[in-house]
Each structure stands twice: as structure tokens, then as C-alpha cells.
């Protein structure tokens, strides 16, 4: 397994759990290293159960982390997400102190599967700002595509 | 006064109130028409007081509206915001049912004043999706610039 595959698989597990809870198939987590033992906070999409369109997995994660960890600690962590973050979530990542994002399924492939066109690559949005955020992905994309194909 | 100036002035009042509360100078509201009597929900930036980087005025507004009004009602309303929405907030607007956005100060002018480069025009982000969202602005931009200049 490559460095990031273990935690992207965990993000896919969270995406599946989100569906089991009645929400869209997206999960995210913050970790201090590449193993399950390094996970600090996990989150899932809760758009349906909270009746709130802003509750994507990454937003839930950053909101919890802002309160529970603070900016200094967040800057040391990597954000893993099952699918490349959308414009809203990429913007939120930019405003946070997170300095590395690892994603599973690409936005482009999600768009093909879900039939949605609002799939701007997150690197393109991040490149418009001054903050240096490393982006890694896609990782294990066929696994992520399978999660989406069984939902949309 | 032009059609939208009354409610953009109200958004500027909310931006000033946000600063008085210890937050950044941004305010937003949803309205069913162009007068103060048409205002349905108002919001302010609460990033500092909630210790949460995602709490921009538009995010606060959409979260409240999602819960209190629902998608069908939101689709009939116009979102007024003191400053052109950032990538995060534009993404959230896209995921909501809001079909018209009116902004006061442009993101470009905010960027000049606040010294920030992460100021992608919201029309550029919206144009990447399929949903038809009308964008109007800037409106009374010199008043908005004055609010920002006294803060940043």
C-alpha cells in the first residue's frame, strides 16, 4: 500500500457509513500520520439528516476541528477526504490552517458518475490564493468510484 | 436609490455590527423584495466569536435558512451580501436553491484593501456549474470600501 491508501480507505468507510445514516457518500478525517492510529477527528456528510446543504464532510470536519483543536494544531495535520473537495469545501480549507489535502476519487470522476458539472478541480481554486496547500490525489480512485456508482 | 441599494445598505449595517461584536466586517440577508420590510433572515460573520473559520455571513445565512425556511422558500428569495461571496460561500450558494445574489463591495476591491489574493469573482465560480444564478453587483461599492478600510 502507498503512504496514503490506509487513510483513504478509512475515508471510503466513512462515506459508506454516511449513506447508511441517510446522507450522501462522503467522508473525511484529519490525521497526524498515515495510519489509523494517527486519526484525530473523523466526519461524514450530514446534508440530509441536518437538513443543511452546507454540511459536506469536509465542512463538518473543519468546524469540529476549529473548535476542538484550534488553528495551530490543525496546521500540523493532513486532511483526508473520500472525494476531491468542492468549491465550498476547498474555500473552507483555504481559510483554515490545514496545509495538506489528500483525496480519493477525483471531482471529475464524481461528476461523470453523478451527472453533475460543478466539479472544479480543487488545485485550480487553491492556486488562486497565496497560501501553500499541498494536494495529493486521486488515491485508490476505482474504490471511490465504486462507492459513488452504488449511490448515484 | 436603485432597486438594490436599500438592502445593500442594510448589509453594510450588519457588517458594521459584526465588527462591534468582535468579528470581521461582513453581513448578509435573504429578502423577498427590495425593502427592509421584505427581509426574511439576517446574518453576520461570527468567525472569531464562534472560533470557526467557516462562519462567514453567507454561510451563517444559508445554514439558518436551510433549517428555518427550506429549499422551496429559499428559491424565491434574493441573497444580499455586503461583499462579493468568496469561493466557499459561492459554493454554498450553488448547493442551495437561492437563484439571485446581490453584492455590495467587489471581491477585487476587498482584496486591494485587505491585502488578500484569494478573491475569485463569484460569477467565475458559478459559471462552472449548471445552475442558473443571477449575480448583481457591485452596489454602493464606495460605502462598502469605507467599511473595510476602517477595519483592515
Quick one: CA dihedral B50, B55, B61, B65, positive or negative? negative
ipTM of this complex:
0.96
The structure's pTM equals: 0.97
**Which grid cell is B106?**
467587489
Nearest by CB to residue B88, choosing from A92, A120, A128, is A92
DSSP H helices, chain B, are 5-20, 57-68, 71-74, 87-95, 107-114, 122-126, 141-149
Distance from CA of A90 to the nearest CA of B (A): 7
**Residue in A58, A60, A72, A134 annotated catalytic:** A58
**What grid cell was written down for B30?**
435573504
**Residue B28 touches chain A, beta carbons under 8 Å:** no
Q: What is the pLDDT along chain A (152 residues), one digit of tens a residue?
A: 688 999 999 999 999 999 999 999 999 999 999 999 999 999 999 999 999 999 999 999 999 999 999 999 999 999 999 999 999 999 999 999 999 999 999 999 999 999 988 999 999 999 999 999 999 999 999 999 999 999 99
Residues 6 or more apart from B45 whose CB is under 8 A from it?
B15, B18, B23, B24, B25, B26, B27, B55, B56, B57, B60
Q: What cell does A22 get?
A: 441517510
Amino acid at each position: 500500500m502507498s503512504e496514503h491508501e490506509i487513510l483513504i480507505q478509512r475515508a471510503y468507510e466513512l462515506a459508506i457509513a454516511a449513506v447508511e445514516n441517510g446522507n450522501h457518500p462522503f467522508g473525511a478525517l484529519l490525521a497526524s500520520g498515515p495510519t489509523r492510529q494517527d486519526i484525530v477527528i473523523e466526519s461524514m456528510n450530514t446534508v440530509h439528516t441536518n437538513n443543511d446543504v452546507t454540511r459536506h464532510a469536509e465542512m463538518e470536519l473543519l468546524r469540529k476541528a476549529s473548535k476542538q483543536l484550534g488553528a495551530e494544531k490543525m496546521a500540523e495535520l493532513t486532511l483526508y477526504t473520500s472525494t476531491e473537495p468542492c468549491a465550498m469545501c476547498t474555500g473552507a480549507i483555504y481559510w483554515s490552517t490545514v496545509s495538506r489535502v489528500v483525496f480519493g476519487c477525483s471531482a471529475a470522476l464524481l461528476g461523470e458518475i453523478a451527472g453533475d458539472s460543478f466539479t472544479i478541480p480543487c488545485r485550480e481554486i487553491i492556486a488562486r490564493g497565496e497560501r501553500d496547500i499541498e494536494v495529493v490525489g486521486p488515491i485508490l480512485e476505482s474504490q471511490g468510484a465504486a462507492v459513488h456508482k452504488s449511490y448515484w
